Amino acid sequence: MAEKFDKQSSLDFVYDFYVKMKKNNINLAYEGEITHQITKAFTSLAENNMTLENDPSSVQKKVFHVMVECLQNISKHAEVRINETTTTDGRGIFLVSKDDEEYNITTGNLIKSDKVNGLRKMLENINNLDPEGLKQLYKQQMREGRLSPKGGAGLGFIDIARKTGEKLVYSFLEIDEENSFFVLTSTVSRKNNLISE
């Protein structure tokens, strides 16, 4: 941000960025505030694309679920610099990539470093559970958990793990003593795993 805007290198950057997106099969990339309108726009865009691609409805529903929970995680939990009077929706980076096998939904956002350990423990715990364990944890959290002031139910990560049937892939990058960057990738297989079909 502090660097002076250089038009020529900006052009190079755009092409470089484009090539990298293509190489990584990324078909949606966004950085900014995650509002409810953004969530609706991205999910409906994804739904339209998946319908065009003839993805099975079970896959479409899972991708929809995961996208909503990931985007809401950012809007509710990402660290935002707020002044005394205004709060804003959280911001972060949101990527969707797709190949023949799977969809990958990736989010990245700033969190306070003192929250890293708690979050890491929660994610490790989820990854160590089998489907039955996840189901019990979900039920327990639904019964005992309380909605946060921003409307978070503490169920998003458990739901993502259950809906995808895959382990959550994540990392924490320490930026400085106070701030860290949290990246989470969720994978939805494009194979229809319904037994009936």
Partner 1 sequence: MEVIKIAGTDDTPQVTLDAKTPFMEISGRSLPEDVVAFYDPILTWLDEYAEKPLPKTVFNFKLEYFNTASSKLLLDILLKLEDIHDDGKEVLVRWHFPDDDEDMEEAGEEYADIVEVPFEQVSYSID
Q: What does the binding site for partner 1 look like in residue numbers (CB under 8 A)?
A: 36, 39-40, 44, 57-58, 61-62, 64-65, 68-69, 72, 135, 138-139, 142-143, 145, 147, 151-153, 155-156, 158-159, 163, 194, 196-197
Nearer to partner 1, 142 or 173 (CB): 142
HSE-up of 112 (CA within 13 Å, CB side)? 7
**Quick check: 195 and 115 in contact, CB under 8 A?**
no
Nearer to partner 1, 3 or 149 (CB): 149
- CB of residue 26 to partner 1, shortest distance in Å: 25
Nearer to partner 1, 29 or 56 (CB): 56
Nearer to partner 1, 11 or 131 (CB): 131
Residue 25's CB is within 10 A of a number of other CB atoms, namely 14
- Give CA separation, 175 vs 26, 74, 110, 179, in Å: 25, 18, 9, 6
**Quick check: 164 and 176 in contact, CB under 8 A?**
no
- CB of residue 78 to partner 1, shortest distance in Å: 16
- CB of residue 25 to partner 1, shortest distance in Å: 26
- Give CA separation, 79 vs 88, 112, 175, in Å: 10, 7, 13
